[in-house]
Amino acid sequence: MTRARSRIPPILLLVLFTSACSIFPAPVSKQGKDNFAARRAKAEKLTGRDQLSAALVQWRILETIDSSDPAIAEKRRSVEAEIDRRAERHYESGKSALARGRYTEARDEFLAALTIDPSHEETIEELRAIDQRLVRRSRPKMAKAKPEAKKMTASKTAIRTKEKQIVRAGGQTIKAENSEALAQAVALTSQGAYLASIPLIEKHLSRYPEDDKAQSLLAISHREVGIALYKDGRLLEALGHLEKSRAYANGTDRKLSGILAEAKSQLAQESYDKGIRIFSKDVAQAIAFWEETLSYDPNHVKAKLNLHNAYKIQKNLESMSQ
């Protein structure tokens, strides 16, 4: 009996030891306690300052360190709920602005929603759609070339195939002068048919991309077409050609830069004036015109000022109608 009793304690002690290891709370050092208190103070401060996204991160870290404190869990939940509420409010404001064609305002609202809740999927989708629109608006428009120039005849295809075979077989360099497309393009430009020459030069360049002469010729053709369109008052189309010309020009062309700047400035002024004319009848439409002004000339001070005021007026009108 005595022997049996003396055997029990070590087993019991082992069980107690292992279970206690997992049950007992962490002994927190003074440094650890200080860190915890500092982090908690930081979380409270961020919450108080409305920096909810950053505050939530701190509450989540505190919860990781001490999951047994119900006050921390409660704080975390309340911040999460507030984040949801505010992100949703900004998202709805953004949608409303979007419906009225106010892209700049919509974008700002969506960004505000995402600042609060970086994982708000619907907001990300809306911002992507606006982003796509912005990219396309920033891209220079390319004018349509004459249809005749685009047709590739059977004989040209044959020449092209033959040239390719020669290149592949012997590694021999084909001189650009031998290119049928370029020869035609040169003939067209000498006759002043710059627009028709463009697709032919592009075709040539797709096979001889390093041909600097062809690049210069393309720059000239685009420039001449651009200038003609500019003189004709077709500013948007002119802008597309002039941008292309700049991309292919070897070195700086002051004349080109001057006309480009002039075309952009005129387009900006045109849309600005349109905004002024329509402002008294339709504020939303005026906003759209002034946003367009800024896309041509981001430094257009009057458009910026008017936009700022128009947004305010629009907001007041909305609150009055409600």
Q: Which of residues 181-220 bind another protein (CB under 8 A)?
A: 202, 206-210, 212, 215
- Give the DSSP H/E element, type plus range, for residue 204: helix 194-207
- Residues that bind another protein (rule: CB under 8 A) add up to a total of 71
Q: Which of 112, 159, 193, 228 touches another protein (CB under 8 A)?
A: 112
The DSSP letter of residue 117 is: -
Nearer to another protein, 204 or 286 (CB): 204
Residue with tokens 């996204």: 53
Kindly state whether residue 144 participates in binding another protein, applying the rule CB under 8 A.
yes
| Residue number, 150 or 231, with CB nearest to another protein | 150
Among 248, 272, 279, 289, binds another protein (CB under 8 A): 248
- Check residue 3 for interaction with another protein (CB under 8 A): no
Shortest spacing between CB 73 and another protein, in angstroms: 12
Instruction: Map residue 235 onto helix, strand or coil.
Output: helix
Terminal Cα distance for the chain, rounded: 90
Nearest to 174 by CA among 188, 186, 162: 162
Nearest alpha carbon to residue 264 among 243, 281, 233, 239: 239
CB of 318 to another protein, least distance (A): 21
> Please, which of residues 13-72 interact with another protein by CB under 8 A?
13, 16-17, 20-28, 31-32, 35, 50-51, 53, 57, 60-61, 63-67
Residue 237 near residue 222 (C-beta atoms within 8 A): no
CA 215/CA 111 separation, integer angstroms? 42
Using the rule CB under 8 A, which residue among 7, 151, 255, 281 binds another protein?
A: 151
Q: Quick one: tokens of 292?
A: 């367009």
Q: Is 162 in the site for another protein (CB under 8 A)?
A: no
